[in-house]
Amino acid sequence: MYINPPRPWSPPVMLGMGRLARLTGNTLTLPGALDHGGPGAAGVRTEPGAVVVLGVARPCAGPPPGSDDERVSMPAMMRTLILTLSPILEAAALTTGLSFTAPRDWKTVATTSAMRVAQYMLPGAEGAEGAELVIYYFGGSGGTVEANIARWLGQMQQPDGRPSSAVAKRETRTVNGLRITLVDVSGTYVAEVRPGSGQRHDSPNFRLRAAVVETPKGPYFIKLTGPATTVAAHEQAFDQFLSSAKWTEASRG
């Protein structure tokens, strides 16, 4: 079910275990029969602020140590099919999964791998670059909350040499019955550029805000990174985004 949110927020997007091919508006949800190693269900909405991918139906391995992404790319054929058909479709997807409502000024970006179920670029603050927000789902796996927080903290270095765990802020919230664990840390961003590449970012004055959302189908991982000034400019919007998290079970006929 889609809820009509107040402006300037866009309609919520479902991220989860889609089972049936449904059409609503200009959103296409693909069934598992079209799964070639990528998501079992996917959709595209053309209006601003909407998420590209609607769910993951095939269990996948967790991320390699020290990285955030898997190494399998979403098939180009599926992505092309979605982007070609989406502008001419009419209706919505009935699906089980996690939904969020994204601000309209967050630009939806085509995901670069099967385990990135949604990806956004956030406008840069004055004089600064934009920030990136990615939502990951690993088919119900992906490691514990503590393991992921430790991994994220390892991607930030402190100028005085202290471990990032010594300066990071942690918080736990409950949103619509979902437990969300957050971490917030600034410093130099040194995560791998690509999994297994051996090349690392070297981005000082960055900020990382990340969250683990625990759902009935396993954890979803949200990671926001970018210049500290840009992340600060979107602080309220990020909190509202998290507060919109909702788990929906598809009705049974």
The predicted-structure confidence for 153-207, as pLDDT tens digits, reads as follows 999 999 999 999 999 999 999 999 999 999 999 999 999 887 777 889 999 999 9
The predicted-structure confidence for 50-74, as pLDDT tens digits, reads as follows 333 334 333 344 454 445 544 333 3
Q: For residue 251, what pLDDT is reported?
A: 64
Average confidence (pLDDT) over 37-42: 33
Look up the pTM and report it. 0.68
Query: Of 47, 195, 54, 71, which is closest to residue 117 (Cα–Cα)?
Result: 54
Query: Of 158, 212, 234, which is closest to residue 189 (Cα–Cα)?
Result: 158
Query: Of 18, 224, 14, 210, which is closest to residue 101 (Cα–Cα)?
Result: 14
Average confidence (pLDDT) over 231-237: 97
Q: Which stretches does DSSP call E strand in the chain?
A: 13-17, 23-24, 27-28, 96-100, 107-108, 116-122, 131-137, 156-157, 169-175, 178-189, 203-215, 218-227, 246-248
Q: For residue 47, what pLDDT is reported?
A: 39
Dmax over CA atoms of the chain, in Å, equals 59
The lowest-confidence range among 17-21, 122-126, 131-135, 229-233 is 17-21
More confidently predicted of 215 and 48: 215
More confidently predicted of 193 and 24: 193
Query: Of 130, 137, 132, which is closest to residue 213 (Cα–Cα)?
Result: 137
DSSP 7: T
The predicted-structure confidence for 126-165, as pLDDT tens digits, reads as follows 999 999 999 999 999 999 999 999 999 999 999 999 999 9
Q: For residue 113, what pLDDT is reported?
A: 86
Q: Residue 109 pLDDT more than 70?
A: yes
Average pLDDT, the chain: 73
Domain 13-248 fold = Protein Transport Mog1p; Chain A (3.40.1000)
- Cβ-based neighbour number of residue 237 at 10 Å: 15
Q: Residue 243 pLDDT more than 50?
A: yes
High-pLDDT (> 70) share of the chain, %: 61
Q: Residue 212 pLDDT more than 60?
A: yes
The residue ranges of every structural domain in the chain are 13-248
In the structure, what pLDDT confidence band is assigned to residue 112 with cuts at 50, 70 and 90?
Answer: confident
- Listing DSSP states for 124-188 in one string gives PPTTS--EEEEEEEBTTBS--HHHHHHHHHTTEE-TTS--GGGT-EEEEEEETTEEEEEEEEEEE
Name the strands in the sheet holding 246-248, side by side, starting at the edge strand that comes first in the sequence: 13-17, 96-100, 246-248
